[in-house]
Amino acid sequence: MTVIKKYFDSWAKTYEQQYNDYQTEFLSYDDGQATERAVQVLFEESSSVEQLNFNNNKKKLLIYAGGFYNNGITNSIINLSRNFDTNKYELVFVDYPRMRPEKEYNMSRLPGSVHFIFSFSWATRTFFDTYNQNTSYHFGFNSKLVNQNKMKATYQLNFRRIFGNFMPYEAIDFGGYNKAITGLFALSPVPKKVVFLHNTMWDEYNKIVNGRYKHRKNLRVTFTYYQYFDKIISVSQSADKQNREDLSQYADSAKFTWVENLVNGAEIEKELSEVKQQVDNGDSLIELTKTETPSGIITTQLFHPVDQNYFNFVTVARLSPEKNHLGLIQAFKLVHDNYPKTRLYIVGDGPIRLEVEQLISGLGLDESVFMMGFLQNPMKFVSFTDYVVLPSVTEGQGLAIIEALLAHKPVVGTDVAGIQDVIKGGRFGLLSGKNAVANPNSLANTLALSIETKDSIKYVKTVKEPLKIFHAETQVDGQWITSSDDWKNPDIILGNDSNGRAFVEIKHVESYPNYAVFIDGKRAAQNSQLAHYDVQSDVAIMVVLDMEQQVCFERFDWRDYNRNALNEFETRAIL
C-alpha cells in the first residue's frame, strides 16, 4: 500500500502543473458555486452573467472537411474558407474529437472566424437500430435488408444529438469518403445538401493499396446516399463528365455539376518572394534542413537550390497508387539512360513509400531520384526545379500542377480527367499520350520532349495554337492520321512492312524539316531524306512535326482563376 501511495504521489507531482493548467483553462467555474449561479441565471436577475448570442443573418454552412489529413482535399477547403465573404457566410465544421498532429496543424490553418462542433460518443439506440445501421454500413442504404425509414430516423436523431437546435442553411460533405458522415448529411433535415467528389470515384472504388481495396468498403455505401443530395459536385469539368457516366445508377444526371478548387495564390507568391530575397541576398541555401515541430509537421528552414547543371523534374503528390509514382520512376529511368544529366525529386509521403523506395534502389537510381518527404511549403522547393510532373492514373483536378503554374513552372501531366482541364490541350503545359498511364515508355517520351524544348519555352498572354504532339503505340496496326483528315495522303504512317516489322514514317518530309521522333524516351536521329524508322513491336512513339515551333505556355493568373472558381461555388454549390 505504501509503495502504491508513493507511486501515485510521485505521479501527481510530475503532472501537477498540467492538471492545474487544464483546470484553469477548462474548469475555471468548477468551484462548488455552479448551482448557485445557475439559480441566479434561471430564476433571478444577475448582472454578473455574460450572455453569448451567436444569432445573425449570415448563411450558416455546415461542412465536413474529410478529417484534415495532409492531402489535396484539406488544402482545398482551407483555400476555400479563406476566400469566403464572412459578411455573408458563417462556416461551421463538424469533425470527430480524435486528434492527430497533422489534423491539429491543418485545423490551425483555417481562418479564426470558423467554428467547430465535435461529434462525441454515439446515439442511444435499440438492438434493432444497431443491426439496421450495421447492415446499411455493409450492404448500402438501398439494400432490401435495410429498413430505410428506421435508418432515416436513426440518422435524424443523431443529427439532433450532435447539433441540437442548430439548423444550417446548407450541409456540405466536402470530404466525400466517410460513409457515416455522408449518410448523416444525406438523411438530415437540412434543407440543402451537397457532396463533393474529389476524384473520379469509380476509379477510387477500384483502387488497390498494398494489396487491398482502399475505399471500396466506404464507397459502396456512400454511393447509395447520392440520390438524397441536391447536388453532386466534382472538382473539374472532365471529372464531372466521367463521374456522371460512372455513377448514373446512383443519382439523376441533373444533380451532377462541377466547381474548381481554389488556390492560395497570395501565400505562394509570398513564399516565392521570400526565397528570391534569400537568394538575392546571397544567403547560403546549401542544405535542406528538416525540423520537427511540436505538431509533428516537417518544416523546411533552408532550401537546397538544386544543381542547375542537371535538368530537374519534381512531382508533388501523396504517395498513393493513383498518383502513379512507380510509373513515373520507370519513365524517368528510360529518360535518365538517354539524358544522364537529369534528376527527379519526389515531394510527398503516403502508404506506398516503401514500394517507391524499393523501386528507386532496384533501378539503380539512388543518386538520381530523391525522396523529399512531406514539405509544408513545397512551392519554395519547386521554384528551383525545371519541370513539374503529375503522372496520375486518376485525378479530380490536379491542384499540385495549378500551384506549379502559379510558381511559373512548366508542367507535364497525363491525359486523364482533371489534368486535362488544367493543361487545356497544351496551353499551360505538355500533355502525355492516352497510353502514358499504362505505359511508362509513353510518359518517357513527353519527359524527353520537355528536355529537348527547354530553351524554346516562351510565356504569352494567350496561346493560339499549342505545340502539336502525336502519340502512338505499335500494338495497333494501320494508318495513323495526324494533321490531315485525308486518309489517302496522311502525314504520318504507323504500320507493318511486308516482313511484319513495325515502322513509323513521316510523309511529306519536305514540309517538316524540323520534325522529331521520340521512341521510348529517346529522340531518334533525324533523317531528312527518308523519315522512316523501323521499331520494335512493343514501343511507344511520339512525333512532333515542327520542333522549331515556339513552345508557348500561358501565364497563369490565379486572381482571375480564384474569382471564377469562387463564383462557381456560390452559383453551383450554395443552392
**Phi–psi pair at 406, nearest 5 degrees:** -65, -30
- CATH of residue 178's domain is 3.40.50
For 156-170, the pLDDT digits (tens) are 999 999 999 899 999
Residues 6+ apart with CB under 8 A from 43: none
- The residue among 460, 493, 519 that closes a domain is 460
Domain of 438 in residue numbering reads as 265-460
Q: Which amino acid is at 243?
A: N
For 103-135, the pLDDT digits (tens) are 999 999 999 999 999 998 888 889 999 999 999
Say what the pTM is. Answer: 0.81
Residues 221 and 240 in one domain: yes
pLDDT at 459: 81
- The residue among 441, 460, 479 that closes a domain is 460
- Residue 485: pLDDT band (50, 70, 90) is very low
For 385-422, the pLDDT digits (tens) are 999 999 999 888 888 899 999 888 999 999 888 898 88
Question: Is 556 inside a domain boundary?
Answer: no
Number of Cβ within a 10 Å radius of residue 374: 17
Residues 525 and 541 in one domain: yes
CB 429 within 8 A of CB 413: yes
- Show the CA angle centred on residue 419, arms to residues 514 and 319, nearest 5°: 110
Question: Is 11 inside a domain boundary?
Answer: no
CB 151 within 8 A of CB 157: no
Burial 260-292 (b: 16+ CB within 10 A, else e): bbbbbbebbeebbeebeebeeeeeebeebeeee
Beta bridge partners of 523: 518
CB 483 within 8 A of CB 537: no
Our count of domains for the chain comes to 3
Residues 205 and 321 in one domain: no
Residues 187 and 287 in one domain: no
The three three-digit cell numbers of residue 306, written as one number = 538544386
The DSSP annotation for 147-168 comes to -HHHHHHHHHHHHHHHHTT---
Most confident listed range (34-38, 60-64, 295-299, 547-551): 60-64
The three three-digit cell numbers of residue 159, written as one number = 443529427
**Phi–psi pair at 220, nearest 5 degrees:** -65, -20
Residues 141 and 248 in one domain: yes
CB 172 within 8 A of CB 62: yes
Residues 233 and 253 in one domain: yes
Question: Is 540 inside a domain boundary?
Answer: yes
On average, the pLDDT of the chain sits at 85
Question: Is 132 inside a domain boundary?
Answer: yes
Q: Which amino acid is at 178?
A: N
pLDDT at 304: 58
For 76-96, the pLDDT digits (tens) are 999 999 999 999 999 999 999
Asked whether residue 439 carries a pLDDT value surpassing 80, the answer given is: yes
Residues 353 and 227 in one domain: no
The three three-digit cell numbers of residue 71, written as one number = 492531402
- Average the pLDDT over 47-59 and give the result: 74
